[in-house]
Amino acid sequence: MKGINLSKISEIRHRIRDDEYSLTLEIPEDIYYSSYKKINKDIACDIIEFYLKKRHDIGKPHDTHIDHIDKENKINVFTELEY
């Protein structure tokens, strides 16, 4: 995650089942574009992997995707986590 400051990322989690959560990472677009030139699934997976590792989170991500929310000036990375 090439230098993105974790303190600039907002995390939203929702419990789906006992051992499964949805996770959304909201990244300001200026912060995102200071490290990345494009938006794609490979980058989304790298961001999730880095974020979980730095947070010492043992969740296993799946169904990861990314979306640019133009009107809110942010990039959202979505995944589901199994524990």
Terminal Cα distance for the chain, rounded: 23
CA-nearest of 5, 51, 45 to 28 is: 5
- For residue 6, the model assigns a pLDDT of 83
Q: Enumerate the domain spans of the chain.
A: 6-82
| pLDDT (tens digit per residue) in 41-75 | 999 999 999 999 999 999 999 999 999 999 999 99
What pTM was estimated for this model as a whole? 0.91
Cα–Cα distance, 62 to 76 (Å, whole number) = 15
| pLDDT (tens digit per residue) in 24-34 | 999 999 999 99
